[in-house]
Amino acid sequence: MLTTDSGYILVARGVLSPNANTSDVGPPSSGATITLLDTTVGQANFQAGPLNSWGARRIKRLIINIYTSHISAANGLVINEQNGDGNWDQLTSYTVAATTYTKNIIAVSAPHVQVTYTNSANTLTSWRFSIFADTLERAAG
């Protein structure tokens, strides 16, 4: 995890060719759905206990930046949240445009969040994304 100078926390990152020793996420294959972030599993289990590793109670806002060479599936970028009961509820979804840098700022209220991406039938030749967590609920920007 990386905390930026502005205090946002980098919680997930994607690159076209991830190194084996990193947690970077590679591109999905044609028509595949992959998980970009899931706070209930692995190193991303930020919400365990009364305080997470940053001393904050929970993620208040996600900032998702994404660039791909081809359009996603319809509503291919999906943000879900859950209250710890194992049932994911869809908060919102977006269709990611081809060759257009896109920034989405999403307010979340549940203790856990999940971000998934469904690719179109195309093979991606460009793929990068970053997901930042805002635990302080600052103004969007």
| Helices and strands, number each (H, E), in the chain | 0, 9
How long is the chain? 141
Taking residue 49's Cβ as centre, other Cβ atoms within 10 Å add up to: 8
- 8, pLDDT greater than 90: no
Q: What is the mean pLDDT of residues 114-127?
A: 97
**What is the spatial distance between Cα 7 and Cα 57, in angstroms, rounded to a whole number?**
15
Per CATH, the number for 2-134 is 2.60.120
What pTM, to 2 d.p., does this model score?
Answer: 0.85
Quote the tokens at residue 98: 């081809």
Sorted by where each begins, the domain ranges of the chain are 2-134
Work out the percent of the chain whose per-residue pLDDT is above 70.
Answer: 81
- pLDDT range class, residue 13, cuts 50, 70, 90: very high
Query: What is the rounded radius of gyration, in angstroms, for the C-alpha atoms of the chain?
Result: 15
